């Protein structure tokens, strides 16, 4: 895999651009993505799918920036969306309607109509109630909705409980024991057309075995469904392949894809199209977040490095206890003693931390690079504490594209209004 963020002459570079120069020009906090890293990750999937009946749909929730989406659209990717906003973004980035799959547990009537009107590829339906609603909306629109059901196989993905979605205790999918009767109900709805079956068991998965366990259960169900008259053209195994943040050892993308596709072949299902929905594994390690040290605050129990990025910019550590490697953009002389710091932000919460117990050599004003933030970094950022959201850049060799301008304080109040004077 391409590592686009490396040191040259004791300076961190983003591809062939010094990170320090980008921070000086565009300010911090600052997200930076590497086009080369995005292409390399996607090509690893595409190469492993060559000659096989397989399709790659990027999970937009991982990173919905238009520049990132346009990279994948130009490579021929499909897209997995979970909202009307993501649908709008994909189309604006050049995605093809027939390559869009609409997932998510709470699709609104308006979102269903949007997808139907633009001719999307498939709805991944997650409940009996949604199935009935979609049938009504499709009928009112005079259209036939292509569907698959997201089936919950009750398989443990062996990942964080917040991102494990394949167990019966989660809100996602249709219970495995209810799937056959739900498909039978769909067969009787004349405005629906069954095209496949969907399964997504979680995120940041570092072993292949949970996927194989889920696939085996789904294939048993497929045989029953086809005996009932449902035609299953595709099997969507979702995404969730993990990346390395610290010491994780996930399988490489090519090995993962080949193992999955070979398993379908060995089970006698090579005639079906297999859909992958990667998110994190395409963008996670393609992004860094630059932040500047504002203050060093020594303490009796902890030493704090207070930086200008915060939990509103990167929520993963506060939400999941997630680990992100942090490096100095310009490392200081290692003859100086290391000091162990918690890296914290200015947000008024004790949970506002980005890293804990990191040995570093720091002074106020130093730049730090938080690594592996391309997935669920900016896409889950917020304006908490009325903080403007960061700028985003996409670097291509020596070229720099402003993928999103930094939000201004004025923009924070767009759409709001103070109480009028006549209300006492």
Q: What is the DSSP letter of 229?
A: T
- Known binding residue 349? Answer is yes
Q: Which residues of 343-371 are buried (b: 16+ CB within 10 A; e: fewer)?
A: bbbbbeeeebbbbeebebebeeebbbbbb
Strands 367-371 vs 353-360: parallel, antiparallel or unpaired: unpaired
Of 203-207, 252-256, 357-361, minimum mean pLDDT range? 203-207
Answer whether residue 159 shows pLDDT above 80: no
- Known binding residue 299? Answer is no
Name the helix (H) or strand (E) containing 32: strand 30-34
CA distances from residue 345 to 25, 29, 133, 383, 404 in whole angstroms, order as listed:
22, 11, 44, 14, 22
Domain for residue 422, yes or no? no
What percentage of the chain reaches a pLDDT higher than 70?
96
Q: Please, which pLDDT band fits residue 160 given cuts at 50, 70 and 90?
A: very low
- Known binding residue 280? Answer is yes
Q: Which position has the higher pLDDT, 154 or 218?
A: 218
Domain of residue 29 covers: 5-33+284-413
Q: What is the mean pLDDT of the chain?
A: 94
- CATH code of the domain containing 107: 3.20.20.10
CA torsion through residues 178, 219, 198, 273, sign: negative
- Known binding residue 279? Answer is yes
**pLDDT, tens digit, for every residue of 87-144?**
999 999 999 999 999 999 999 999 999 999 999 999 999 999 999 999 999 999 999 9
The verdict on 25 and 132 lying in the same domain is no
**pLDDT, tens digit, for every residue of 370-419?**
999 999 999 999 999 999 999 999 999 999 999 999 999 999 999 999 99
Question: Strand, coil or helix: what is 141?
Answer: helix
- CATH code of the domain containing 397: 2.40.37.10
The per-residue pLDDT for 215 is 95
- Known binding residue 331? Answer is no
User: Which own/partner contact pairs does 220-229 have at CB distance under 8 Å and 24+ positions apart?
Assistant: 221/151, 221/176, 221/179, 221/180, 221/197, 222/197, 222/269, 224/180, 225/180, 225/183, 225/197, 228/180, 228/183, 228/184, 228/187, 229/187
- Known binding residue 332? Answer is no
* Catalytic residue list contains 348: yes
Domain count for the chain: 2
- Known binding residue 363? Answer is no
Domain for residue 424, yes or no? no
Listed residues 236, 267, 283: the one ending a domain = 283
Domain for residue 381, yes or no? yes
The per-residue pLDDT for 162 is 44
Q: Please, which pLDDT band fits residue 1 given cuts at 50, 70 and 90?
A: confident
Residues 6+ away with beta carbon under 8 Å from 331: 7, 10, 361
Q: Please, which pLDDT band fits residue 27 given cuts at 50, 70 and 90?
A: very high
The verdict on 298 and 404 lying in the same domain is yes
Q: Single out the catalytic residue among 49, 122, 199, 348.
A: 348
Pick left, alpha or beta for residue 386 (phi over 0 → left; psi -120 to 50 → alpha; otherwise beta). left
**pLDDT, tens digit, for every residue of 244-255?**
999 999 999 999
Listed residues 267, 283, 299: the one ending a domain = 283
The verdict on 122 and 167 lying in the same domain is yes
């Amino acid at each position: 895999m391409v590592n686009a963020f490396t040191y040259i002459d004791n300076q961190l570079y983003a591809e062939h651009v010094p990170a320090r120069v980008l921070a000086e020009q565009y300010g911090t906090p600052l997200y930076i993505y590497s086009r080369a890293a995005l292409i390399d990750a996607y090509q690893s999937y595409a190469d492993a799918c060559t000659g096989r009946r397989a399709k790659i749909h990027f999970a937009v929730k991982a990173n919905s920036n238009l520049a990132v989406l346009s990279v994948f659209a130009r490579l021929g990717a499909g897209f997995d969306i979970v909202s009307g906003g993501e649908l709008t973004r994909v189309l604006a980035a050049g995605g093809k309607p027939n390559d869009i799959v609409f997932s998510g547990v709470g699709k609104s009537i308006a979102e269903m109509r949007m997808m139907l009107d633009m001719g999307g590829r498939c709805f991944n339906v997650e409940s009996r109630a949604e199935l009935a609603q979609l049938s009504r909306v499709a009928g009112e629109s005079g259209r036939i909705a292509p569907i698959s059901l997201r089936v919950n196989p009750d398989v443990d993905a062996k990942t964080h409980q917040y991102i494990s979605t394949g167990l019966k205790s989660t809100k996602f999918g249709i219970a495995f024991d209810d799937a056959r009767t739900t498909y039978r109900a769909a067969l009787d709805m004349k405005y629906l057309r069954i095209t496949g079956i969907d399964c997504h068991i979680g995120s940041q998965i570092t072993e292949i075995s949970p996927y194989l366990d889920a696939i085996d259960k789904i294939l048993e169900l497929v045989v029953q469904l086809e005996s009932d008259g449902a035609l299953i053209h595709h099997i969507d195994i979702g995404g969730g392949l993990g990346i390395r943040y610290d010491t994780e050892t996930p399988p490489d993308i090519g090995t993962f894809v080949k193992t999955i596709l070979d398993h379908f072949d060995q089970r006698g299902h090579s005639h079906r199209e297999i859909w992958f929905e990667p998110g994190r594994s395409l963008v996670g390690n393609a992004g860094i977040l630059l932040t500047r040290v504002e203050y060093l605050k020594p303490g009796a129990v902890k030493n704090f490095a207070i930086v200008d990025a915060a939990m509103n910019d990167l929520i993963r550590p506060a939400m999941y206890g997630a680990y992100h490697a942090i490096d100095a953009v310009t490392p200081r002389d290692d003859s100086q003693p290391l000091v162990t710091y918690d890296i914290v932000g200015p947000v008024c919460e004790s949970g506002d931390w980005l890293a804990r117990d990191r040995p570093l050599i720091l002074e106020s004003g130093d730049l730090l690079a938080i690594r592996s933030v391309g997935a669920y970094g900016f896409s889950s950022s917020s304006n908490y504490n009325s903080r403007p959201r960061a700028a985003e850049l996409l670097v291509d060799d020596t070229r720099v594209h402003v993928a999103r301008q930094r939000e201004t304080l004025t923009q924070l109040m767009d759409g709001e209004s103070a109480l009028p004077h006549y209300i006492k």
